[in-house]
Amino acid sequence: MQSQRDESMYLSEIDSLKLELERIAKEKNALEVENANLRQIIEENSRRDVEFKSRIEELEKSRADTASENAELKTEVARLRRDFEEIKSKRITTDSPEQLPIFTKTKNFNDTY
């Protein structure tokens, strides 16, 4: 009788271990699915990171170009103001504005921009 109880106990323990193994296998499968999803997210984030870095570089270059152009325009505006003040102070009048110093010193605006 003892041997039947022992055998029954072992079978019960084996069944319990099988159930535990099934639970662990299901958990493993769920974790593998989650890992696959996380890998995909990581890949997408890496791709976006490259795209964002490229876009940032473009924007920084554009900002530098704009700053340079603004500096040139500010210099030109300052020069035009000086010329205008010079013309006003000398009270120069003319029927032909092209003869004024401001026009002889300035590049043609449409040619430059």
pLDDT tens across 10-65, in order? 889 999 999 999 999 999 999 999 999 999 999 999 999 999 999 999 999 999 99
Nearest partner of 38 among 72, 46, 21, 108, judged by Cα:
46
What was the pLDDT predicted at 63?
A: 94
Q: Could you tell me the pTM of the whole model?
A: 0.50
What was the pLDDT predicted at 105?
A: 54
Q: How many CA atoms lie within 13 A of 104 on its CB side?
A: 5
Answer for the pair 106, 92: CB distance below 8 angstroms, yes or no.
no
Dist CA 10 CA 84 (whole Å): 107
Quote the tokens at residue 23.
Answer: 């639970």
What is the distance, to the nearest Å, from the Cα of residue 6 to the centroid of all Cα atoms in its chain? 68
